[in-house]
Amino acid sequence: MSQGVEFNRLMLDMRSMQMDAMATPKAISTPEIGASSFADMLGQAVNKVNDTQQASNQLSNAFEIGKSGVDLTDVMISSQKASVSFQALTQVRNKLVQAYQDIMQMPV
Residue 35 predicted with pLDDT over 80: no
Q: Which residue has the higher pLDDT, 9 or 56?
A: 56
Q: Helices marked H in 1-108 — which ranges? A: 2-22, 38-64, 72-104
Question: pLDDT averaged over the chain?
Answer: 86
> Widest CA span of the chain, in angstroms?
93
User: For position 108, what pLDDT does the model report?
Assistant: 79
Residue 46 predicted with pLDDT over 60: yes
User: For position 75, what pLDDT does the model report?
Assistant: 95
Choice among 25-39, 53-67, 94-108 with the minimum mean pLDDT:
25-39
Which candidate, 67, 70, 90, places its Cα nearest to that of 79? 70
Tell me the pTM. Answer: 0.62
Q: How confident is the model at residue 1 (pLDDT cuts 50, 70, 90)?
A: low
Domains of the chain: which residue ranges? 37-108
In this prediction, residues 48-74 reach a mean pLDDT of 95
Judged by DSSP in three states, 24 sits in: coil
Are the beta carbons of 73 and 58 closer than 8 angstroms?
no
